[in-house]
Structure 1
């Protein structure tokens, strides 16, 4: 099976068997400009052409495909419901869904049961995942244009959870923070159990743009500068350090609210933070996050995990 993650700047393709702990052939290519925005495919023809050409050039002949989608428009909620009959669950869920998604008719909605974390009698936990229909429909069309059988479309945080569990990164109470180009995905895992996830509208592009504006250089040059220099407490960033720290401060405040919500709900503290994505490799960022939250913080060093963990997770159906 082929797993695909289409990001604003990079598209990742991974071939693998769903029960294989190790990765097969993997490729990361540049996403054409202006073909996707916040998970929504805008120029499907250009995107299909690039992916098709990549598959042919690399002799990838998989017939099945799954996608993982990162978008701030995805909505994921963990609900607790009184114990009830199977046929009553869906009706109760749609009542709850209306509270979160008033126009739920315009969303594709799925749900699954979760194990109980707290000792609560006569309650069930249900995970609701939803994505706008106009986003999903484009991925269905893309699979058709690639002449591949669509097996699944997964939401990004669920892919991260499954992959972390598979490769033993889900031990303890973990917050997995994946800083993408545009969106930061936060997934909380309690000893291998999915708890909840949230999306924050912030990504590495914002920092790159600050650098580009400050030094009057183009975006690509700013991206290279960002990756080569320590991002705080260095002469390189003296004139823009406050602006960069202000951007991160806004994100950290939202992260703090997520951690506070977890503590208020489950009476437990986050024990460690695991950072994914290219932005997590910014020199000095790990130390800054650890100092800010006073929580042990780790950046995934293995390149395969750092970049391909979410797309690997979408291959793990039924995990």
Structure 2
């Protein structure tokens, strides 16, 4: 699953670009695979907003500097499509539609039996069931214009984009690689980042519904610096009531999604069995503690214990998404 736009190459660099940062990670070919090296550059507000590039000239200058600093010129890259651009939707099609005809059929149905909030999508599909008359599929879609804007930017800077992925799949891939996934599990991944939150419910290994949300971000309320090893440290220095209100809004949305899943999506009216909390928000432990107070299902942080170290020390928690992306298509 994910967006198969490109062809494959060796020596792949994995890029995660969001509203507030650019991160890269290179995989170490070990068993189990680990991180070889990584780097991070924070972005000024306004260059990317809700996953969309707003100032491509400034982004190109910053990314070009990163390419030099990280010594990744002319490398092949995978990248994450921003959560805010991605739609996951279940669709039903006639059973007689062959696999190699499926994407053409879906394109023809856009705007009639299949409705998306944007035109000219790029999409991938995942088969769910076939009763002989109809097939159920999961449709992963994003606006081609915005996805290709990232791909074209990389190409213009002499990088070679080979694959685009989505964050829930990358995170679940890492979760599974670490041996933390359970069979027949109803899992919700809560990705709590500095400027956004993404909620995604999995049945076994299949994402069935996803909801992204923006978090208000005021740079004046945060103290951002680097430690002696170059690691970015972010500390909230504003009014804590502002954070409390933000978190409260997200918990309300989380509760709505759980109710929607129980009463509309789950065939057996089941609840999720576990929360998996991850992300780059500096208050992740406090968020976990609050979730444990509010919800009955257990709340786990995506563990770093089984991840090997790379050349630049222990892998920071905010690079877990990058590592999950790096595991794509690793045999």
TM-score (norm 1): 0.77
Aligned residue number for residue 249 of structure 2: 250
* More displaced 10-residue stretch of structure 1: 71-80 or 134-143: 71-80
Match of 2:40 among 28, 37, 49: 28
Deviations 1:240-296 (A, max 9, x none): 3xx644433322222122222332333232111111112263453212112212221
- The Cα shift of 1:30 comes to 1.4
- The Cα shift of 1:29 comes to 1.7
Q: Is 1:101 the counterpart of 2:116 in the alignment?
A: yes
Q: In structure 2, do the counterparts of structure 1 residues 225 and 159 end up closer, same or farther at CA, with 3 Å as the change threshold? A: closer
Q: What are the residue-to-residue correspondences of 1:194-213 with 2, within 5 Å?
A: 194-203=206-215, 206=216, 209=218
Deviations 1:41-96 (A, max 9, x none): 22333323333333333333562111102242321213344533316644653466
Q: In structure 2, do the counterparts of structure 1 residues 249 and 82 end up closer, same or farther at CA, with 3 Å as the change threshold? A: farther
CA contact (8 A) 1:179 1:280 kept: no
Cα RMSD of the aligned pairs, angstroms, is 3.2
Structure 2 alignment gaps of length 5 or more: 1-11, 225-232, 305-313
CA contact (8 A) 1:281 1:299 kept: no
> How many residues are aligned here?
292
The structure in which a higher percent of residues are helix is 1
Q: Is 1:132 the counterpart of 2:143 in the alignment?
A: yes
CA contact (8 A) 2:26 2:38 kept: yes
Partner Cα separation in structure 2 for residue 135 and residue 129 of structure 1: 15
CA contact (8 A) 1:78 1:195 kept: no
CA contact (8 A) 1:183 1:199 kept: no
- The Cα shift of 1:137 comes to 2.5
Structure 1 alignment gaps of length 5 or more: 213-217, 230-235
SS at match of 1:279: coil
Partner Cα separation in structure 1 for residue 71 and residue 57 of structure 2: 21
Q: What are the residue-to-residue correspondences of 1:271-290 with 2, within 5 Å?
A: 271-279=273-281, 281-290=283-292
Aligned residue number for residue 232 of structure 1: none
TM-score (norm 2): 0.75
- The Cα shift of 1:13 comes to 0.2
The structure in which a higher percent of residues are strand is 2
